[in-house]
């Protein structure tokens, strides 16, 4: 079976956002079980390992390369850590963890490693194959952004760009995509950036936010079914928590945060959980100076009762 060639292994460069707030908010015991459901660059797992050497860490990531890139961070640590190459929506697929977990972390969105090193077309600043899949080695049957822009209808593309990216020029962008693909297949990130640039007003190109940001975000979310996975992951995550177990979720855009907020409120209303922080926790000015990515981060913490 044909596979898309991926980038070579590069060590993790990811900076973990809201690290202390997320871990401290879990109120973990010295011995117990914690799930790092979005392992990424391994930042949360490393810090948990340092603070709670007796704890069992279960690290999940559907990007197998994430574990390889972060291996060196654990060389001098005595960690009881196991890795599973799965999406967090399947974190309790065999029902073996039900009500046994003391804490669970969801750090949503893309890691810096995926933006910088993945070679899968996540960044509009690099000319790469237009894949946008979280999988390290996608097969031909796996959905990619290339499939969407070349095969889907103009209406469907416009709906995705608005629904997942909240892009006001979705109609113009979708129309330009359909016209462009009549001439040649849209294969790379720069192909798509050029199309978006043609579709939008000149003034929009000079905005604070790069003009391709919302379209790229929308395609990535659609390719990976990120919102569907989040809804399933929150449900599974809550089921594996024991009483007084906590869930920390860091989101980076309003669509994710809306889902998390709704889920938390429902559990509170059902009398099954309490909100640890009534107001969202955000990064300090100091952290934002060090890591610009943290400026849009929102942390919500829930405790099962």
Domains of the chain: 19-113+226-304 (3.40.50.150), 119-224 (1.10.150.170)
Helix 189-199, helix 213-224: angle, nearest 10: 130
- The CA–CA distances, whole Å, from 56 to 79, 183, 189 equal 8, 55, 40
pLDDT at 214 over 90: yes
**% of the chain beyond a pLDDT of 90:** 71
- Provide the whole-model pTM: 0.87
224-278 pLDDT tens trace: 999 999 999 999 999 999 999 999 999 998 999 999 999 999 999 999 999 999 8
273-297 pLDDT tens trace: 999 998 999 999 998 888 888 888 9
What pairs with residue 59 in β-bridges? 36, 83
User: What is the CA 112 to chain-centroid distance, rounded?
Assistant: 11
Give residue 72's pLDDT: 85
CB 46 within 8 Å of CB 22: no
CB 233 within 8 Å of CB 171: no
């Amino acid at each position: 079976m044909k596979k898309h060639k991926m980038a070579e292994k590069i060590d993790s460069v990811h900076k973990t956002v809201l690290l202390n707030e997320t871990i401290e908010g879990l109120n973990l015991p010295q011995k117990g079980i914690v799930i790092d459901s979005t392992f990424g660059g391994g930042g949360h797992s490393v810090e948990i390992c340092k603070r709670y050497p007796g704890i069992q860490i279960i690290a999940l990531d559907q990007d197998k390369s994430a574990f390889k890139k972060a291996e060196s961070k654990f060389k001098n640590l005595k960690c009881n850590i196991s890795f599973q190459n799965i999406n967090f929506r399947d974190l309790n697929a065999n029902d073996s963890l039900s009500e046994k977990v003391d804490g669970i972390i969801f750090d949503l969105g893309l890691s810096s490693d995926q933006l910088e090193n993945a070679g899968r077309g996540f960044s509009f600043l690099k000319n790469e194959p237009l894949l946008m899949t979280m999988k390290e080695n996608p097969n031909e049957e796996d959905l990619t952004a290339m499939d969407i822009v070349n095969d889907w209808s103009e209406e469907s593309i416009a709906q995705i760009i608005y629904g997942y990216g909240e892009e006001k020029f979705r109609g113009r962008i979708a129309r330009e995509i359909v016209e462009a693909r009549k001439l040649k297949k849209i294969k790379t990130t720069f192909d798509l950036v050029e199309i978006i640039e043609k579709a939008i007003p000149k003034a929009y190109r000079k905005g604070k936010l790069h003009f391709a940001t919302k379209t790229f975000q929308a395609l990535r979310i659609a390719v990976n079914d990120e919102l569907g996975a989040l809804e399933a992951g929150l449900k599974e995550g809550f089921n594996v928590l024991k009483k007084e177990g906590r869930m920390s979720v860091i989101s980076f855009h309003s669509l994710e945060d809306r889902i998390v907020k709704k889920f938390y409120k429902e559990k509170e209303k059902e009398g099954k959980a309490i909100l640890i922080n009534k107001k969202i926790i955000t990064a300090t000015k100091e952290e934002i100076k060090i890591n610009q990515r943290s400026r849009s981060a929102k942390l919500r913490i829930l405790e099962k009762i």
